[in-house]
Amino acid sequence: MKTVIFLVECGWLRSIKGSALPGLLIIVFVAGIAAAAPVPISARNVHLVGHIDLEGGGMVDVKGDLAVVGHMGPPYATTLLDVADPARPRILARIPVRAGTHSHKARLCGNLLAINVEQYGGGGDGTAGLALFDIGDPRRPREIAYYRMGGLSTGGTGVHRFQMDCARKLLYTSGSAEGFQGNFVLIIDISDPAHPKEVGRWWMPGQHVAVGEKPQRSGAAHRIHHPLRLGDRLYVSLWYDGFAILDISDPTRPRLLSHVDDRPESGAPTHTALAVGHQILGRKWLVVFDEEMGGGNPPAYMRLYDITDERRPVPAATFHVQPDPSGKTGGRFGAHQPHEFVGTDNLVYAAWFSGGLRVIDISNPYRPLEVGHFIPQPGQGARFAQSNDIFVDERGLIYLIDRVSGLDILRLSLPKR
């Protein structure tokens, strides 16, 4: 049984440039209950704690007892969940999506929720950008700002994936603007959440078409996927152009330190560049994930780079997972996205599409070793699982969202050595 209440609030919002925008905020509150936990296709050292049926998601983020899921498509942008009891996650609120967009990425920072607004499926008013919500009461999220972006006619899509820096009150994203081909790095000041403002940007050569630069690739193929900060560095995945390391000690003027593209020409695009925050074997490391696009041979995989000399990253190892020969992991099988933090246990938690969750020990970065996995049942209407994103909370609970349907809450239990 579910109880549904609709709350509609009409008002006026302000854009970043100060122009008035009509705002229609419709929040759907649903008292949800968790579904019966499905038995996984395969699992090793990982067990299921809880499960809830949800529409497909692109990202999951967790702070304390609150989880948020950004959905792949209509009718919802974001679902807010109470996960105080991880065996019984409960829906607190749902935010509907703007027409012609999806909001498949969501991040939390205190009482602030940020969601992307990306062009998706056509229709709507051609809007794209970033929306910010006050979630002081997570049952009643309240939109407080909408940062509109352009560039949609030249391969831009609005905001794709992003990271929130709660300490510095900055947001690092791949956004779009008029005069640019595809998405590029945007650094946005959110110290006043009701009035976000751009403070810095960086793009690859060829993206600034308004000043005569020539793109190396057509459309959205020549773009940045997203940046991740560690210290005063941004580690940027450049899609079909590898990855870059930027110095952002002055965030208003990001500066390129190095660029690496050693993927095979027919290889999958680079999705994530994740720096490890501590040394392993006395060296600094970068974990790089390519995104499987379907039919890759080999399927997309994880790479490790020694970045002790950050101006000259050195490839050290690769990590591959082979599909189940029985066909249970068919379809889109390969690497996608890691949990964006590597703790001192040196474990990388990764969403591997139909390969589910993979837990990889990089204590020896030259020989990464899988220590656990969990392959969920396919979502409703799907032939295979499509694990899209992952988050590990302070309790050690693992949140694995499927892009078709379903959120699994898991726990890793390694045997004692």
Structure tokens at 252: 């208003």
Q: How confident is the model at residue 326, as a pLDDT?
A: 72
Q: How confident is the model at residue 124, as a pLDDT?
A: 66
Instruction: Compute the C-alpha angle 281/285/290, nearest 5°.
Output: 140
Is residue 82 within 8 Å of 74, Cβ to Cβ?
A: no
Which of the four CATH numbers 2.130.10, 2.40.480, 3.30.379, 1.20.120 does domain 3-149+272-412 have?
2.130.10
Distance of CA 124 to the CA centre of its chain: 24
Nearest to 78, CA basis, from 35, 122, 133, 15: 133
Residue 98 to residue 119: CA distance in whole angstroms: 10
Beta partners for 80? 68, 93
Mean pLDDT by groups of 10 residues along the chain of 417 residues: 40 32 45 64 97 96 99 96 98 96 97 96 78 98 96 84 98 94 96 98 96 86 95 98 98 98 85 99 98 89 98 98 81 96 98 98 99 93 94 98 96 91
Residue 74 to residue 102: CA distance in whole angstroms: 7
For the entire predicted model, the pTM comes to: 0.91
DSSP states of 268-282:
PPEEEEEE-SS-BTT
Residue 357 to residue 173: CA distance in whole angstroms: 25
Q: How confident is the model at residue 174, as a pLDDT?
A: 95
SS3 255: strand
Q: How confident is the model at residue 8, as a pLDDT?
A: 38
Alpha helical stretches, state H, 182-240:
none
C-alpha radius of gyration, the chain, whole number:
20
SS3 90: strand
